[in-house]
Amino acid sequence: MTDAEKGYLDNITEAIYQILNGKDTQHLKLPEDYPDNEIRQVTSYLNKLISEYNEFSQAMQLLSEGELKNYISSGKLSIQQSFKTLQSNLRHLTWKTQQISNGDFTQQIDFMGDFSTAFNSMANQLKDAFEKIESQNKELKIANEIIQREKEKSDKLLLNILPVKVANDLKTTGTTKPETFNNVTVFFSDIVGFTKLSANLEPFLLINELNEIFTTFDNIIEKNHCERIKTIGDAYLAVCGMPNKDDNHAENIVKSAIEIIHSLNHKNNHSKIKWETRIGIHTGKVVGGVVGIKKYIYDVFGDTINTTSRMESNSNPMKINISESTYQLVKNKFDFIEREPIEVKGKGKLKCIL
């Protein structure tokens, strides 16, 4: 063996050593005119091995970092083929996982030994958990719908007994403060001879009649932007200008009163039982607030309420008796008959208008 051949053999040994010790290995070079002998053949094979090994190392590095996009080129090295199969399986698993993450739990992995068993078990458990959550969501949705329906019912009930603004205050803050309203017109009515009439009627029929009358009152009051406060037996109390301010409070109440008289006349024309009412109206300052902590009621207080009651008691059947203060607000909108001042209990003589 020549010294040159020994040198090339040393280079080959060094290259193999570098591969075995995980170092970068470069191709070996021989002079172009180097004879076609065993040294050239070994060098050629070793260079091919170095190429494929380097490519494989780079691909394994990328794979270890989770990079699956780059395909490694084909080769006859057994380890290279196994790597390509592994890469293909990982790409397939990635796709399967994406399908499962999109909600397709029918995806399964086959022919991958223990991995298939574990993956499919995971997919099945995810499917069970997802179905359980879906089922719970459905139950929750039904429960929410029931709650929503009940809430709507309770809201409706609340609005039946309280003005919208007060009901909303109670719902959002749990409380509502009493408030003074300076410009409110109050409506008070009473059925004439109710006690006497009711004594001759069956209780069921009596309640039906009263219900029909007050339902009509309610509709008229609501239509004219007024607020029914309460009924006390056969008496009916309503206001306008509170809790929401309304510049037409007096006009709205008088209009309601006229319509109520008309409605009662209409009913009497079509019924054997004849009902008559007296109506009193007054305008002034009113305090409004919720009374009690159970069976809430929004009530109104103040001298204006008392005066309205006096107006009512001094009215005539099927007439509307309004005070001077109300008259001044609506005198140009309706026709009136001025009465002689009336002695009102606790108030002295008051000017009234029919």
Partner 1 sequence: MFKEERTESKFNWNMLGNIQDGRPNLGSSMDVSVYRLMQFTLRDIIIKEFDVATANKIYYQAGKRAGEALYENAITKKDNINEFIVELQDVLAQLKIGILRVEKADLEKLNFTITISEDLDCSGLPICDEEICVYDEGFIDGLLSAITGKKFKVKEVDCWCSGDRICRFEATVIK
The residues of the shown chain that bind partner 1, judged by CB under 8 A, are: 71, 74-76, 81-82, 84-85, 88-89, 91-92, 94-96, 99, 104, 106-108, 110-111
Nearest to 294 by CA among 172, 161, 149: 161
Closer to partner 1 by Cβ: residue 17 or 115 = 115
Report residue 352 CA to chain centroid gap. 52
DSSP, res 192: T
Closer to partner 1 by Cβ: residue 90 or 273 = 90
Minimum CB–partner distance for residue 47 and partner 1 (Å): 19
Closer to partner 1 by Cβ: residue 90 or 140 = 90
Closer to partner 1 by Cβ: residue 104 or 212 = 104
Minimum CB–partner distance for residue 211 and partner 1 (Å): 59
Residue owning tokens 């009358």: 213
CB contact set of 334 (below 8 Å; sequence gap of 6+): 254, 258
Contact assessment for residue 179 and residue 163, using Cβ atoms and an 8 Å cutoff: no
Minimum CB–partner distance for residue 70 and partner 1 (Å): 13
Report residue 98 CA to chain centroid gap. 33
Closer to partner 1 by Cβ: residue 32 or 110 = 110
Minimum CB–partner distance for residue 99 and partner 1 (Å): 6
E strands, the chain, are 179-191, 227-232, 235-240, 277-291, 297-301, 319-323, 342-344, 348-350, 352-353
Closer to partner 1 by Cβ: residue 45 or 95 = 95
Minimum CB–partner distance for residue 38 and partner 1 (Å): 26
CA distance 270 to 252: 27
Tokens of 196: 């006497």
Minimum CB–partner distance for residue 105 and partner 1 (Å): 10
Residue owning tokens 């919720």: 290
